[in-house]
Structure 1
């Protein structure tokens, strides 16, 4: 795995759009969140002390086995392919990834939290007759209970937000970039040029008028059609929030990456 990088960060923050743009480059392999991070975590657990045979497994073997997940999963790709694997889990694994793949980069997609919550609520309301896997297919609840649920420590947004903070303020973030949704939507050329420079690849001329990513079958099975759907043209989209006013203002100051004084380790924010 000579060329491998990771996409992580907050949900509903442009990772699908980012992956769709990357895929336009014929050398790049990218998609929505896949199974690799889950396999990684499961194997890591199975090689721990809870397994009586772990006495036969040292860290060198653990590293070799974990690298093998990536080489096996992406084994059909050409040797010159640049892999981007996506998962919100990767923000919790910066130290391990730096050891396994020292030249890899982690690009965390971020967005102002009220608009993350608004985007999820908008998808839920657009599928009034299909309970979503986001809420364990529970058809009940209100916007308030849904927000509280996804902001819990293990919730869709809460876990990702805490993982992002761990990565941003941690000691292993020298290979971390934060890519703001607002930058990607308003100036995709600037955003991608920064990404290419960050990962050390020659720039590819992307088409921002015809962006394609088809994950409709996954979204349908998750009871959330349109969850990963993107518009073909990259452009900002102004709208009023669906959130009640008290929810809209409750999280407006939680975008810590927008405060330069908090960026004491000099994380690259685009």
Structure 2
């Protein structure tokens, strides 16, 4: 692959689409919503791993070439010298392969208080009352807010998988390539967060970012899921205070799961907000073994 590649991962409703909308204002950068490359990687590995028909005849070196070829083919239309950001929640769980295939690549994981993630998804569900969204498999899962949130939190479902995948990456030996970005700070202070992102990936700052003039929407994709507005980004970056739509007990159950706020046992870099003061300015650029609180 002739272009640089980095990865955007993280939890749903936590700013990955917002971050992509900001990054793509830089003409050298190419970023968007979830790409199919992560699914291609999983499918290919299924075909050549132990237990498959072709596993015994495909060497590790061939697997590496096949996977690099997927990226090269998918992004072959990008101009030489571009920086590509591929978005998929699976990359947090594939950090060893990412680092082996692309040693200079970084993974940016967008996170958010899990209770507010659940709140955001529940709001979208209620905004589409005449649609049986594909987020749930049957009437039992979608019956009430309690069954919906419980389903989403399972470790093989939308929120539970993303949360556990980031946690795995956060405490892994490859965590030095991981940058965790808290949604609240990104939405409150993009002018402070984005320079830190640029520094982490080793790119010169682009002066043309306009945080009041963003454009991103994917109505066809969201319609296919039965969740209108899932990837729509407002023109101006902001964090609008609101009351939760979750019952108090349910909100409390998921509100203290922010493991990224304690980086004592992780080499990951973190751009987050102190729980006691979410308005404090961002500090030094991210470094391994250092939380960059704001």
Please, what TM-score do these two structures have when normalized by structure 2?
Answer: 0.89
1:189 to 188, 191, 195: 191
Q: Which runs of 5+ in 1 are unaligned?
A: none
| 1:161 CA displacement | 0.7
For residues 217 and 149 of structure 2, the distance between their equivalents in structure 1, rounded to whole angstroms, comes to: 27
Name the SS for the 1:93 alignment partner: helix
For residues 15 and 60 of structure 2, the distance between their equivalents in structure 1, rounded to whole angstroms, comes to: 35
- In the other structure, the counterpart of 2:214 is 211
| 1:49 CA displacement | 2.2
- In the other structure, the counterpart of 1:221 is 224
- In the other structure, the counterpart of 1:269 is 270
Matched pairs, number: 268
| 1:266 CA displacement | 3.0
- In the other structure, the counterpart of 1:62 is 63
1:46-89 deviation line (CA, Å, top 9, x unaligned): 01122333332111110000000000001111111111001110
Contact 1:33 1:85 in 2 (8 A): yes
- In the other structure, the counterpart of 1:251 is 254
Say yes or no: does 1:176 pair with 2:178.
Answer: yes
- In the other structure, the counterpart of 2:124 is 123
1:71-123 deviation line (CA, Å, top 9, x unaligned): 00011111111110011100011111111000000000000111000000000
Contact 2:124 2:229 in 1 (8 A): yes
Matches within 5 A, 1:87-98: 87-98=88-99
Name the SS for the 2:108 alignment partner: strand
- In the other structure, the counterpart of 1:6 is 7
Name the SS for the 1:84 alignment partner: strand
Cα root mean square deviation, aligned? 1.3
For residues 47 and 229 of structure 1, the distance between their equivalents in structure 2, rounded to whole angstroms, comes to: 37
For residues 192 and 137 of structure 1, the distance between their equivalents in structure 2, rounded to whole angstroms, comes to: 40
1:187-221 deviation line (CA, Å, top 9, x unaligned): 00111101100000111121001100121111111
For residues 198 and 138 of structure 2, the distance between their equivalents in structure 1, rounded to whole angstroms, comes to: 39
For residues 138 and 225 of structure 2, the distance between their equivalents in structure 1, rounded to whole angstroms, comes to: 9
Select between 10-19 and 47-56 the one with higher mean Cα deviation: 47-56
- In the other structure, the counterpart of 2:109 is 108
- In the other structure, the counterpart of 1:153 is 155
| 1:140 CA displacement | 4.3
For residues 137 and 101 of structure 1, the distance between their equivalents in structure 2, rounded to whole angstroms, comes to: 40
- In the other structure, the counterpart of 2:145 is 143
Deviating 4+ runs (over 2 angstroms): 49-56, 136-140
Between 1 and 2, higher relative CO (CA 8 Å, sep ≥ 6) is seen in: 1
For residues 18 and 53 of structure 1, the distance between their equivalents in structure 2, rounded to whole angstroms, comes to: 39
Contact 1:137 1:223 in 2 (8 A): no
- In the other structure, the counterpart of 2:291 is none
- In the other structure, the counterpart of 2:133 is 132
For residues 114 and 153 of structure 2, the distance between their equivalents in structure 1, rounded to whole angstroms, comes to: 10
| 1:137 CA displacement | 6.7
Contact 2:47 2:53 in 1 (8 A): no
